[in-house]
Amino acid sequence: MRVWVKSSGIDSNILDWVKKLDSFLENNGVEVYVDPVLGHVLRREVLPESEAERADFAIILGGDGALLRSVQKSNGRLPPVIGFTVIGVGFFLYYKVEDYPKVLANIFSGKYGVESVRLGEYVAERFKGVFLNELSVWPHTGRLIEFEVSVGGEKLYHARSDGIIVATAAGSTAHALSYGSPIIMPPDTPVLEVVFPGVLSPLIKPLITYSHEIELQVMTLPALMSVDGQNTTNLEHASIIRVKPSDMALKLVKVSDYMRSFNERIRLRLTDRGLSRII
């Protein structure tokens, strides 16, 4: 078995877990590869995200950012992901890091399932790619964005707002959720959710589309497109962005006895891990 390992960083807490995991994998006869960052601290063969699919599984330790970076750098081409949360919510990192011996023992013996999480894809001028959570558009200078929205080739809205968020079903539990959008289940559903933060007109409502292409034409200059909060691109005047559910899906490994429940993960998200409170 070949396993590719990536972490959110190499601070002392995460690195301690990485070293324990690496030793456990070696003792179980697993061939271990690491991402370029971990390659500076572990004497293992390095595989960049773009080559991670050579492994049988990807193990990601840390938080949501590590998974999002991996999706972006691999263009969504990852082996089935086993995710252990060390920091943050880690919404799609299903396991507590301290449970890694039990989780991996089940996987080694074939006692696991796989869940598909549908990606979105986009084309914007000369740029294209996929996203796990969302594609969003924001002004550079705090001004409003003026835009037009078409769904399935039919023009629908011309409006102004603070920004635009186009989220997958998976992304409905992320940035879009903070603007009051609904949670969409299950995560393999080929839908897109469009939210308009700070929209001026009460006539402009959020959208949920099924298996349709959404076209955004951004009239404001300058504007910025952000993909999964990882990649940013400056948009030219009247730029057109086409977004649709992708045929690609991220595969997540499920060992039911040790998974954090959806209720637990969404509760952490909605309560901001207890960080937001009245004082």
Domain of residue 51, CATH code? 3.40.50.10330
Same domain, 150 and 227: yes
Give, to the nearest 10 degrees, the angle between helix 100-108 and helix 12-27. 30
Question: What total number of domains does the chain contain?
Answer: 2
Query: What's the burial of 187, exposed, middle or buried (CB within 10 Å: 0-12/13-18/19+)?
Result: buried
* 99 appears as a binding residue in the annotation: no
- Is 64 one of the annotated active-site residues of the chain? yes
Same domain, 62 and 127: no
Q: Which of 269, 95, 43, 249 is nearest to 175 (CA)?
A: 269
Same domain, 72 and 182: no
Q: Say what the pLDDT of residue 194 is.
A: 97
This prediction has a pTM of: 0.93
Same domain, 37 and 123: no
Residue 279 maps to a domain:
no
Same domain, 209 and 178: yes
Same domain, 56 and 170: no
Whether residue 116 contacts residue 250, with contact meaning beta carbons closer than 8 Å, is answered with yes
**Amino acid letter for position 177:** L
Q: Which residue among the candidates 11, 16, 35, 64 is catalytic per the annotation?
A: 64
* 189 appears as a binding residue in the annotation: no
Percentage of the chain lying above the pLDDT 90 cut = 80
| Chain segment 104-139, per-residue pLDDT in tens | 999 999 999 999 999 999 999 889 999 999 999 999
Q: How many helices (H) and strands (E) does the chain have?
A: 4, 18
* 175 appears as a binding residue in the annotation: yes
Residue 242 maps to a domain:
yes
Range of the domain at 144: 119-247
| Chain segment 23-47, per-residue pLDDT in tens | 999 999 999 999 999 999 999 999 9
22-45: burial string, b at 16+ Cβ within 10 Å, e else: beebeeeebebbbbebbeeebebe
**Stretches in the chain below the pLDDT threshold 50:** none
Same domain, 231 and 264: no
* 76 appears as a binding residue in the annotation: no
